Structure 1
Amino acid sequence: MPPPSVPWIMVPVMSRWPEHPIVQAPMAGGPSTPELAAAVSDAGGLGFLAAGYKTPEAMRADITATRRLTSRPFGMNVFMPSLEEPDPSAVAAYRDRLAPEAARLGVAPGTPADRDDAYDAKIADLLADPPPFVGFTFGCPAPDVIRAFQERGTAVVVTVTTAAEARLASAADALCLQGSEAGGHRGSFTNTSDDPVPLRALLREVSAFTRQPLIAAGGLATASHVAEVLALGAVAAQIGTAFVRCPESGANPVHKAALADPRFTSTALTRAFSGRPARGLVNRFLTEHSAHAPAAYPDVHYVTSPLRRAAAAQGDPEGLNLWAGESYRQATETPAAVLVARLTP
């Protein structure tokens, strides 16, 4: 349990806070499986599932499967709908640019489709039978949605990347502060260019004006990292990349292997794979296409999806989105329960 001085999450769910200050990051696209979330929760951390890119039915199936595997609390994360209108001509030009890449892989570039990730249907499903925690990325839900979850005893966690976003999410039960070091997509409320804030600076800035519980995320991969952010005022550390190589993770084997491959020596933020800034290992696709990718999410995600699937199937790490935080070298093939114990200060 957190120290008595920490105003953690609302009285109805305080007893559900895990033994250890370790939150397994929700990682859309495969890594966050029921097996991983359950293993983390059973080990005394807080496991999280990811609804992003899934149908409401698949989301519910993950919740059901996780409940079969553990009686401990866990969470489900939802992507907020993309509100910005993309430039269709820029998306079409990028699709044309990727045509030779697609031909080499034996596929065709994808076509943009729905942009809301079935948000309304997912919220309706979750409100009908919610898990103990629900998280939101790419924005903050409407106040009535937050209240509806709170009235059901579910704690709402909103990912923020700036102090301004933190102020907009003041109704949430907790904030996940995502620093610039984090792997995968930046959880910013807009898809405009920004100046990413490092985690430690973000923690200091936000803790100065709110008593909301703060979960620190971004480049955290060791017990000393966790101890450091706790000392800066966080109540927990959210960790993603370190769990990617766990046997319970559903990450593609190509992705898992790349995290330990000496050919990949750095990470960078890129829009090349999805149209939104995301941190991944620097590979050929990222290097060749980042400068040309428009700020169009999830349109670019749809365009590159067939290429990424083909690259994974062909074992080609140079054509795949290899999401990774700055401490990716710390990721090992360790069972999730063992990793939770190692991460706990």
Structure 2
Amino acid sequence: MILQKLLGIDLPIIQAPMAGVQGSALAIAVSNAGGLGSLPCALLGLEAMRQELSAIRAQTSRPFNVNFFCHTQPEPSVERDAIWRETLAPYFAEYGIDASAIAAGPGRFPFSAATADALNEFRPAVVSFHFGLPSADLLARVRSWGAKILSSATTVDEARWLEERGVDAVIAQGLEAGGHRGHFLSDDLDTQVGTFAFVPQIVKAVKIPVIATGGIADARGVAAAMALGAAGVQIGTAYMLCPEATTSAVHRAALKSDAARITALTNLFTGRPARGIVNRIMRELGPMSAAAPAFPLATAAIMPLRAKAESLGSGEFSPLWAGQNASGCKEVSASALTRELAAAVVDARY
């Protein structure tokens, strides 16, 4: 019950924040079911964030999590961008896209003073971060609201680093997890291990609660993670077919197909490794490419390809984020799924 007491929730289930496939509706449903719903804000401008947070406040009185990225925006490189666009040139030609008309853009936004100012109006019960933590002064502002702070670790060293900086719980992200790797102390992907090998190591290394994530898709997986010492579980992929999710039609189709069995880490869509279902562009360019600009600058050039292909019913140029285990994806309400995921641990009275 340690995580439930810490976060003020009934069930040890956290809905993973999934930028691009969800908004407030999914977070509301999970929080109202007794879990911790999450709102991803990396793709939201300040006004859009306020609107989503207002919707959550209007529809639940339960705790919820607001999630942010903590990356450092890279300096744009004209040379790197030119190489990337040249790499994509055959696809632009195939779809009749004028590469010269594609504007550059940041793609993702890190937590900032302006974000903190806007968030101060809502003072959420839980704030989580990906790619480390924001600056000490920004973190102090979040703490001043009384918010509990979570952040992801992909190695034991990262977990210890987070504990030293006072996070309330650490999210142990296993290799199986969908979406972006949360690494921040090293870019070496070989340092990340599977969830069920990783969780016991972190539990042994830190004194704060550990939240397992990656490849957990049903009640048995939740129970297994907690048997290994996790205080709770964060789940993303399993929620992506719920009606409250905004997962696109092509993404839903991929999750329901045999293609979902094969995922890979790729930097093609954003410039940073993230796990998704293998599609045409990943097969033809290789999932990892040195030509891709630094995160998040790779996004701008590939967006028109994605939009054009999706308009034709194709997800071959889309970031089809998913973990290695999509078997738990169900077209049921997020409330029902949350209760189902927690059933085994509730019966065991963890």
Q: Which residue of 1 aligns with 2:35?
A: 45
Q: CA deviation at 1:291?
A: 4.3
User: Do residues 27 (structure 1) and 15 (structure 2) align?
Assistant: no
Q: CA deviation at 1:142?
A: 2.4
User: Do residues 172 (structure 1) and 164 (structure 2) align?
Assistant: no
Contact 1:81 1:115 (C-alpha < 8 Å) held by counterparts: no
- TM-score by length of structure 2 reads 0.89
Q: Which residue of 2 aligns with 1:151?
A: 144
1:300 to 292, 298, 301: 298
2: distance between equivalents of 1:288 and 1:127?
A: 45
1:233-312 matches, cutoff 5 A: 233-289=229-285, 290-292=287-289, 293-294=291-292, 296-312=294-310
2: distance between equivalents of 1:193 and 1:88?
A: 26
User: Do residues 68 (structure 1) and 58 (structure 2) align?
Assistant: yes
Task: Report which stretch shifted further, 177-186 or 281-290.
Answer: 281-290
1: distance between equivalents of 2:82 and 2:209?
A: 43
Q: CA deviation at 1:148?
A: 2.3
Q: CA deviation at 1:113?
A: 2.9
- Amino acid of the residue matched to residue 284 of structure 1? R
Task: Give the superposed CA RMSD.
Answer: 2.1
User: Do residues 56 (structure 1) and 54 (structure 2) align?
Assistant: no
Q: Which residue of 2 aligns with 1:91?
A: 81
Name the SS of the counterpart of 1:249 in structure 2.
coil
2: distance between equivalents of 1:331 and 1:254?
A: 15
Name the SS of the counterpart of 2:272 in structure 1.
coil
2: distance between equivalents of 1:281 and 1:306?
A: 20
Name the SS of the counterpart of 2:189 in structure 1.
coil
Q: C-alpha deviations, 1:214-245, integer Å up to 9, x for none?
A: 11110110101000111111111100000001
Contact 1:56 1:118 (C-alpha < 8 Å) held by counterparts: no
Task: Report which stretch shifted further, 192-201 or 180-189.
Answer: 192-201
Q: C-alpha deviations, 1:321-344, integer Å up to 9, x for none?
A: 111101113212111011112111
Q: C-alpha deviations, 1:103-128, integer Å up to 9, x for none?
A: 33343454433477163221221134
- Amino acid of the residue matched to residue 330 of structure 2? T
Task: Report which stretch shifted further, 106-115 or 249-258.
Answer: 106-115
Q: Which residue of 1 aligns with 2:127?
A: 134
Name the SS of the counterpart of 2:68 in structure 1.
strand
Contact 1:161 1:187 (C-alpha < 8 Å) held by counterparts: yes
Q: Which residue of 1 aligns with 2:339?
A: 341
Runs of 4+ in 1 over 6 A off after TM superposition: none
Identity in percent: 39
Compared with structure 1, are the counterparts of its residues 27 and 116 closer, same or farther at alpha carbon in structure 2 (3 Å cutoff)? Answer: closer
Contact 1:140 1:189 (C-alpha < 8 Å) held by counterparts: no
2: distance between equivalents of 1:143 and 1:207?
A: 25
Unaligned stretches of 5+ in structure 1? none
Count of matched residue positions in the alignment of Structure 1 and Structure 2: 335
- Amino acid of the residue matched to residue 194 of structure 1? L
